[in-house]
Amino acid sequence: MIQRTLVLLKPDALDRGIVGEVITRFERVGANMVGLKLLVSAEDTAKLHYTDDLARRRGEEVRNRMISMLISGPIVAICLEGVEIIEVVRKMVGATEPKAAAPGTIRGDYAHVSYQHADEKGIGVFNLIHASDSQESADSEIGVWFKPEELCVHHPSYTKFTIRD
């Protein structure tokens, strides 16, 4: 099944200078990049991304911290396409809490912050990257960050025999 998913490289990923390395990881597994942009998020856009559902699940304070973190600097929004790409990307990204992320994942290789540390500091978890967790969230999140005309139709020749009919 061909899917699209959203990836956000958060301000801490840009601060660390690892944007190219992270994008290279997605390219190496054959993810097809169909949208890419560098931006500074408006607070309203960040609130659309971190929905009221997050507040219901984790609390309004956590939602507000995540919004503050997301608008604290530039981000890179990426729309990837591929076979069951949502699950592939989530595996590559690793556990949401960086200290629990397995070595070899993006968070496991580049971050180590814990929820406890973030709570003690009163900040959002700086975990480098966001990846959609379901088809429903991917569809919604892609719509927050990209207009339809900003997404490309791109079918690399190597995919002709592997993922396209």
Contact between residue 92 and residue 29 where contact means Cβ atoms under 8 Å apart:
yes
How many C-alpha atoms does 62 have within 13 Å on its Cβ side? 14
Q: How far is CA 79 from CA 69, 104, 130, 132, in A?
A: 21, 22, 12, 10
Measure the CA–CA gap between 70 and 57, rounded to whole angstroms.
Answer: 19
Q: Is 130 a catalytic residue?
A: yes
What secondary structure does DSSP assign to 73-122, as a single string?
SEEEEEEEEEETHHHHHHHHH--SSGGGSPTTSHHHHH----HHHHHHHT
Give Cα 146 distance to the centre of its chain: 13
Indicate which residue of 49, 130, 154, 155 is catalytic: 130
Residues serving a catalytic function are 130
